[in-house]
Each structure stands twice: as C-alpha cells, then as structure tokens.
Amino acid sequence: MADHKVLAGAHVVLPTGTVENGRVIVEGDRIAGSAPEGAPVVDLSGHWLVPGFVDLHNHGGGGASFTSGTVDEVLKGVHTHRLHGTTTVVASFVTGDMDFLGRRAGLLSELAEQGEIAGLHFEGPFISPCRKGAHDETLLRDPDPAEVRKLIDAARGQAKMVTLATELPGGIDSVRLLAEHGVIAAIGHTDATYEQTRAAIDAGATVATHLYNAMPALGHRAPGPIAALLEDERITVELINDGTHLHPAALELAFHHAGPERVAFITDAMDAAGFGDGRYMLGPLAVEVKDSVARLVEGGSIAGSTLTLDRAFKRAATVDGLPVEAVVQAISANPARLLGMYDRVGSLEPGKDADIVVLDAEFELKGVMRKGEWIVDPLENTTA
C-alpha cells in the first residue's frame, strides 16, 4: 500500500470529459485502475486534476539555454519548467552553424535517452531571412536534404522536429526526407505563398511553428501560409498564448478553424522563463527582457517568450474563456500524440505515467507530480 496514492475529490479531466468529485490512483510511477483498501488518500476537493503539460517548443528557462548551456544548466532549465507543470519537454535549438548544432544534438540526445527530455527540435538554420525573427541571418541556409540528414543522424534517433521555410530551394525534398525518417516537418519562419504551403503539406509537413508569428499576415487576395495551415486537417498549429505574441481574436480564429484537436500550446521559452528580467543571449544574439517580454537588443524583434505552460493554461481558461477540456487537449494530449508518446503521457488513464498537475479553482498551479513523485506538493506547496 505504501506505493499507492489516491488523489480524491477533484474535478478530474479525462479524455471523455470532466468527472466531478473524481479520483486518480497512482501506483508507483504509473496511473492505476484500482487501489487496495486502506491506501492513503490525498484530499484535493475544489481542485482540478489535469495531465502533465507537454511542450513541443522550448528553448530554455531558469536562466539556462538549451542551445548553449552545459548539461547541468539544461537540466536546471528542464526542472524550472517542471515546477510550472511541464512534465514532458522537447529541447529546441535556435540557429547555429552546422557543426555546432551537430555537437549539441549529440550532447542532448543523451538526456533524451535518459528520459530527461522528450527529444530535440531544430528551429533553424533552414529558415527564411525574410522572416528570421530572433535568428542570426549570417548563419541561415537553404534546407539541403543532405544537411538536414546530418542533423537527424547527429541526434541519434532523438530528433523530433525540424522547422523549415519550405519555399526555399530543397524545402520540399527536405520535408519528404523528414517524413520518411519519422521526424516532424514544421512550416515556420517562412515567406511562403498559400500555394507553396499547400505543396509542403502535401509533401508531409504536419506542424505550423508558432502560427501567425514569423510568417506573412493573412491577406484577402494573398492568403499566404496562415490560411493554408489553418484549413488543412493534417496540420497541428502551435500557439504562444502569452498575451504578447497573439491577440485574443487571433487565438479564437485558430481554435474556430482548426478546432481544439489541432492546436498545441507551446512556450517558445528562452532562458528568462521562470527567472526574471535582464540581459540574455539567444544563440549569438543579445536579448533584453523587460516586463517579461523578450526582444532583441538590435532591432527589437520579439525573441521567444518567458512563458510557462501553467500561465498559458490559466490565460486560456480565464481570459480566453476556453473550456478546460479544450485547454487540456491543446496543452497535453495533442502534443503527446504528435510526439508519438500518447501511450505514455497526455491523459489521466490507467497504465500511463503518473504525470499530473493540480490547479486550484482559479487555475493557479498548486501541485506537480512526475512519474509518481511530487515535484510540487499540493498539500505543502513545496518544491522538490
């Protein structure tokens, strides 16, 4: 009985809907279907129990960069996001030279093999200089399939996603290569037309990297990539719901056209997430974080975010007025499916990892469990 926990009395959000006065049984590191008589009960009346958050697109936190930090610093960044409910995180790299990215991929692939991160995402260097955002233009290059393959190989099976400007020379062939190797091809930092975007989707692209940002605006004569990405049921759209990257009407438009089953909330977080304002480096570029908004020192472009997914959840459920079930889909289930991990994470079902977030009635984070162990204890509200 010592390895059982019964979390009882909460609003439990399941794939089939919300159960009032529900309970989740934890046995060891997994969710169980039943508990022995006398198993210890944690009373969470008045709270919400939702699955641990899954972040597809995250560059760091806690003062640490996934692109350039040491292994210990990367682990610090991962832990920072765990404290905010993200129990599964993909480490994203900003643009660097090919040799550097290959070395980083080899280093962080070990953390993926150990289960500390869920894999690697290359956001660059295969992106458009017209829509580079906070990427060093001197390091950008066309998506040559041979070079894309080098990065995949360097990641030793842990590459999960590559963001591409698919209109560039080699873009479509690179999408096909990624699809053949089971790596997500994401359309982003792109200057593509509507027609070019459609061609990339037909070639196998399945994700829109932070929809609306770093791509042409929606136009009535030239609809561009946004319309193509929203209308196609094969595409999951990433959204950064921090109140800075998106107007609420843009988020509503995405949910209206894509539906909750095709939205994935991400942070696109950089080092300052969970750490504070100040000067930082994003790859080789200097960033100033002021009032929690990150911008390049030169040019003022938005440079990622300082978002954590608990804040994204609360904003979606309160400011945006989305149903809690839809928020859970976007922040847990959908990204887990994209990563091929839904058999283990993304919902509160027996047999899955005991990755659980406890929220109060106002959707403030009160507890985080990962693989059956409290990282933030909801009764003591302390961190481990």
Q: In this predicted model, what pLDDT tens digit does every residue of 152-198 receive, in sequence order?
A: 999 999 999 999 999 999 999 999 999 999 999 999 999 999 999 99
pTM above 0.85, yes or no: yes
> Is 240 within any annotated ligand binding site?
no
Do 248 and 308 fall within a single domain? yes
Do 178 and 318 fall within a single domain? yes
Q: In this predicted model, what pLDDT tens digit does every residue of 229-263 receive, in sequence order?
A: 999 999 999 999 999 999 999 999 999 999 999 99
Q: Which residue, among 354, 383, 350, has the nearest Cα to 371 in the 3D structure?
A: 354
Do 11 and 135 fall within a single domain? no
Indicate which CATH number applies to the domain containing 14. Answer: 2.30.40.10
Q: Give the residue with greater pLDDT, 281 vs 265.
A: 265
pLDDT at 37: 87
CB of 164 within 8 A of CB of 185?
yes
- Give the total number of structural domains in the chain: 2
Do 259 and 154 fall within a single domain? yes
CB within 8 A of 256, min separation 6: which ones?
none
Do 334 and 265 fall within a single domain? yes
- pLDDT at 384 > cutoff 80: no
Confidence category of residue 1, pLDDT binned at 50, 70, 90? very low
pLDDT at 284: 87
Do 256 and 364 fall within a single domain? no
Catalytic center residues: 268
pLDDT at 369: 98
Do 13 and 73 fall within a single domain? no
Confidence category of residue 290, pLDDT binned at 50, 70, 90? very high
- pLDDT at 49 > cutoff 60: yes
pLDDT at 69: 94
Residue 173, phi then psi, degrees to nearest 5:
-65, -35
- pLDDT at 382 > cutoff 80: no
Indicate which CATH number applies to the domain containing 326. Answer: 3.20.20.140
Do 10 and 88 fall within a single domain? no
> Is 123 within any annotated ligand binding site?
yes
Q: Which domain holds residue 329?
A: 53-338
- Type and span of the H or E element at 84: none
Do 249 and 357 fall within a single domain? no
Q: What rounded mean pLDDT belongs to the chain? A: 96
> Is 279 within any annotated ligand binding site?
no
Q: Which residue, among 210, 215, 262, 273, has the nearest Cα to 235 in the 3D structure?
A: 262
Lowest-confidence range among 73-77, 120-124, 328-332, 377-381? 377-381
Do 296 and 352 fall within a single domain? no
Do 193 and 287 fall within a single domain? yes
> Is 189 within any annotated ligand binding site?
yes
Do 224 and 352 fall within a single domain? no
> Is 181 within any annotated ligand binding site?
no
Q: Give the residue with greater pLDDT, 54 vs 299.
A: 54
> Is 155 within any annotated ligand binding site?
no
